[in-house]
Amino acid sequence: MTPCAFQNRLFPSAGGAAVIAAMLALAFPACAGGSEEAMGKTIFTKTAQPSCTLCHALKDAGSSAEIGPNLDELKPDAERVAKAVKDGLGIMPAFGESLSDEQIKAVAHYVARATGAAK
């Protein structure tokens, strides 16, 4: 069970558990508001190995790499990003074995939002 699922299962509503839920949100920041996007940015910049920033330019991530496509210019939607991340594309390695489906979805959502492809 992921930390977010654990938090949501134990504390599905505010009330008396709000303080504990807030503490868990601090411990697991990917579970807080904008969680999928925050988790996606972390995956893009740190978790994926090699890091996405090594090859891709993405202004929001502070990356200006030029090996792979400039994502700010390409503006891929989340579906396109998820497929490329999971299966690889051209010289881009597949991350389907090293990242979970949840992580792939999060990084795809992040890229689409950061580039303006998703509103």
Helix axes 3-10, 18-27, angle to 10 degrees: 180
User: Per-residue pLDDT tens for 61-82?
Assistant: 999 999 999 999 999 999 999 9
**Is the bond preceding 12 in cis, omega lying within 30 degrees of 0?**
no
Does residue 82 share a domain with residue 72?
Answer: yes
Alpha-carbon gap, residue 57 to 103, rounded angstroms: 20
Residues 21 and 45 placed together within one structural domain of the fold: no
CATH number for the domain spanning 107: value is: 1.10.760.10
**Could you tell me the pLDDT band of residue 19, with boundaries at 50, 70 and 90?**
very low
Instruction: State which residues form the domain around 22.
Output: 1-33
Please tell me the total count of domains within the chain. Answer: 2
In sign, the C-alpha dihedral spanning 45, 47, 50, 52 is: negative
Statement to judge: residues 51 and 2 lie in one domain: no
pTM for this model (two decimals): 0.72
- Between CA 82 and CA 44 the distance in angstroms is 12
Same domain, yes or no, for 63 and 86?
yes
Asked if residue 49 and residue 10 are part of one domain, the reply reads no
Same domain, 14 and 38: no
Task: Report how far residue 103's alpha carbon sits from residue 119's, in angstroms, rounded to the nearest whole number.
Answer: 20
